[in-house]
Structure 1
């Protein structure tokens, strides 16, 4: 098989859904699973039984994703529901995210690894505050593709003018945010119009159905332009009679590709050598690429341990102890200036301290609140962090995998914040850096 083909094609699409409460996200996902024949018979039977218990004559397809008892009782999505399904053309990992404002952090979780986000709008309501919020989050997370699904077209008489006005308003707003691509599709998730099958009620629409777009949208998974990165997860030394000198460095390739014979550098130590072999599923290969879990064998015996980062010597990122990033705070407890945390980047975890919070973004109107002093749950803001040890970090714009990190509460292991290195929105005037006199020890 051609390595060029292997490196540029993919059969997997990760995507997320978002939208306001009651816009029909879970119904869309349920319709997508049902009409693409991705629902098992016992799952459908359970949904039909639950629907009858609620007095509904037809199956409520939203129940295919709203799996928590609290979600079913309230009729809303609370947690991120992941679903896996496949068609003959592509495999999918789907994250159905909540619509409530207080669960914006869950939308960040679901969209953080997505290559595409489906944002739903109720055709009767048009673009609302939460629509703008989700568009802003998609832009900040640099989701490459955004689908605008104008739902409940059956409740507005399938009018083309209604769809056109909503699509124009949303596309203009998304373009202002820097969203690279918006595909607008008029649908009725309840009736199935333009979800899997083309709608007979909207002959004025000549574009793809939701599933057709999902099956055909190009997805690179950063293979063509990202620098190669392998966070070391485990050092393998079997010390058997058959392989007495075997020493391999195992992990999942976060970006790019590695080749036998390639010169690499290990960070943060900066030591260099060449790849003498690559093992994939117990078999030697000449090349390996993003998302594959491999073991690299090196020509020289150098000190490498879990948390180190293996990179091509010609594409090594700088190491730094000072990180500036855009973050989404996901914990109930606030993040404050001076907060001592653990920073996890790839497979490496180091001590760190929050030096400054220059600004907080108000997603409703994209305005900035300068120097808020703290971030609370669902807040998005800019932070400056000082780490106890140097880290090799990429810009999030270059690699979503190695340009991201999380902050952890060292006392109980709670995830506090999800961060994107170097991502920024317009910042207020900088404040004086007083960190030299504050007694911090790193």
Structure 2
């Protein structure tokens, strides 16, 4: 059986990716007669003055043909005498970087194009870095439009050296640099006479012979469960694709996260019984006894695979909105989806240099290293070890759009998290998560009962989307103890409302414990109207004359006075 090579073409916009693949298919006689005829007819109305526009074979969308650019990923399947291929032609425009990342996620090899007249530019470096992030270990740099620089070897060598410097840190297994002309066909399917100084293979020949042997068969067996199949009471099978290793009838498996053990009773590939199966095959496995397994669980023989509810990861941010710590998303790892939070942005990665840059937010198409916390334990490992449980996506919980893709660097065990608690999830992270600044409103004064106003203020805050907690100190707890409880609420990012009269000598104690978040609401009937001042320590004091102000009006005054502060994130 012929081997299969899955590869992508990528690079900056208008570098000739679609033209390259189209010319390869045309010259290698890999088109049906009607496809070839349609290409020739469509080219008469194209942008090449009647000459064949090979990009039309890949750019099928009307918007792509009108603009002369690739927008979506175009997949092509073809076979030569030596090998079978699946190619993903990906867009080069920065706006469609997410589409490029989708194509890179399935590939074994990437053909990165550069324009010989421009050399290695920022988008070239971004695409190379994304390919490395997605685990691609084999790159081909196709230096295109060599005809526009007179097939100059010096220019070719300069671009080659620049690209080697860019990829030096990527730990790649192979890089091949080929001078080509996508429009004229130089070094695409056969050696060009215009580059006698190039001693390597033409592009198609190189792709037919490059060794991208996957080592997944050599690793321990591992399979995420995608579906539980139970057509009737006599059969219960677990379906998924074997990611690494091999399995045979009679082998003992461990189920994660339950860690139950069972033996393989039966293996089905489609509807055929098999004695064994290997990496890359979709299978149904029946066990010799009942176990607690559902979608998102994992079958393995490897006892080193871990479970954790936190991890560090490198991500490509693909959303139009800005990423800041504290935001909630759905995190999809393998076949499991859980709620999760970005607890910290460690740094972002400079596309041009690879250097780390301090950051507290990430914008579209930036790479960054972040820390994540999940709602529950999940079976994960590093992307380097197991791609299927080491890669993930973030899904926006409102729009259901993919906001980011990433690779797990390291699982954080619970013991590590406890040790790092003070710095991992800060008050600022919790406040950002809730979209508000923490605050304490302490209702006090000469009025006997401050509770009605406190309750009305809380009702208005909650109806406006704020997160609150109301405490009524009817048991006569010491003010210090109440303040310490309230401080924990502020640390959780909450707006705390306390109905508790303060003695003069308690004010300084409460103020010292709560700090700048302390705001006093003083209810008194001895002065006209309402006002807002600062006390001697600089903390706000809102004074309200309850004899002349209704509960509703007083609540409006309090909410209006604090609104600017609680939303000033």
Specify if TM > 0.5.
yes
Partner of 1:432: 423
> For the residues of structure 2 that align with 1:331 and 1:44, how far apart are their CA atoms?
39
Pairwise CA distance, 1:386:
0.9
Pairwise CA distance, 1:341:
1.1
Q: How large is the Cα RMSD of the aligned pairs? A: 2.3
| 1:252 and 2:252 aligned | no
| 1:12 and 2:4 aligned | yes
Partner of 2:359: 371
Q: Give SS of 1:223's match.
A: helix
> For the residues of structure 2 that align with 1:22 and 1:247, how far apart are their CA atoms?
52
> Given the two structures, how large is their TM-score scaled by the length of structure 2?
0.70
Kept after mapping to 2: 8 A contact 1:18/1:96: yes
Asked which structure has the greater CA Rg, the reply is 2
Structure 1 stretch 22-31 or stretch 230-239: which is displaced more?
230-239
Spell out the pairing of 1:295-314 with structure 2 (5 A cutoff).
295-312=284-301, 314=302
> For the residues of structure 2 that align with 1:423 and 1:213, how far apart are their CA atoms?
36
Partner of 1:399: 386
Spell out the pairing of 1:67-82 with structure 2 (5 A cutoff).
67-82=60-75
> For the residues of structure 1 that align with 2:426 and 2:221, how far apart are their CA atoms?
35
> Given the two structures, how large is their TM-score scaled by the length of structure 1?
0.89
Pairwise CA distance, 1:291:
2.1
Q: Size of the alignment, in residue pairs?
A: 421
Q: 2:37 aligns with which of 37, 45, 52?
A: 45
Residues 209, 401 of structure 1: alpha-carbon distance in 2 compared, 3 angstrom cutoff = farther
| 1:326 and 2:314 aligned | yes
Kept after mapping to 2: 8 A contact 1:355/1:385: yes
Greater RCO between the two (CA within 8 Å, min separation 6)? 1
> For the residues of structure 2 that align with 1:158 and 1:221, how far apart are their CA atoms?
36
Unaligned runs of 5+ in 2: 412-419, 428-487, 494-569
1:385-411 Cα shifts (integer Å, max 9, x gaps) = 111121111211112222101111222
Q: 1:414 aligns with which of 401, 420, 424?
A: 401
Q: 1:98 aligns with which of 91, 96, 103?
A: 91
| 1:166 and 2:155 aligned | no
> For the residues of structure 1 that align with 2:108 and 2:124, how far apart are their CA atoms?
19
Kept after mapping to 2: 8 A contact 1:228/1:255: yes
Q: 1:23 aligns with which of 3, 15, 18?
A: 15
Pairwise CA distance, 1:30:
0.7
Kept after mapping to 2: 8 A contact 1:265/1:316: no
> For the residues of structure 1 that align with 2:74 and 2:43, how far apart are their CA atoms?
19
> For the residues of structure 2 that align with 1:80 and 1:372, how far apart are their CA atoms?
32
1:245-282 Cα shifts (integer Å, max 9, x gaps) = 32211112222222222221111111111212211122
Spell out the pairing of 1:145-160 with structure 2 (5 A cutoff).
145-160=138-153
Spell out the pairing of 1:255-274 with structure 2 (5 A cutoff).
255-274=244-263
Kept after mapping to 1: 8 A contact 2:9/2:112: yes
Give the structure with the higher percent helix: 2
Partner of 1:206: 199
Partner of 1:110: 103
Q: Give SS of 1:247's match.
A: strand
Structure 1 stretch 218-227 or stretch 21-30: which is displaced more?
218-227
| 1:386 and 2:377 aligned | no
Unaligned runs of 5+ in 1: 1-8, 425-429
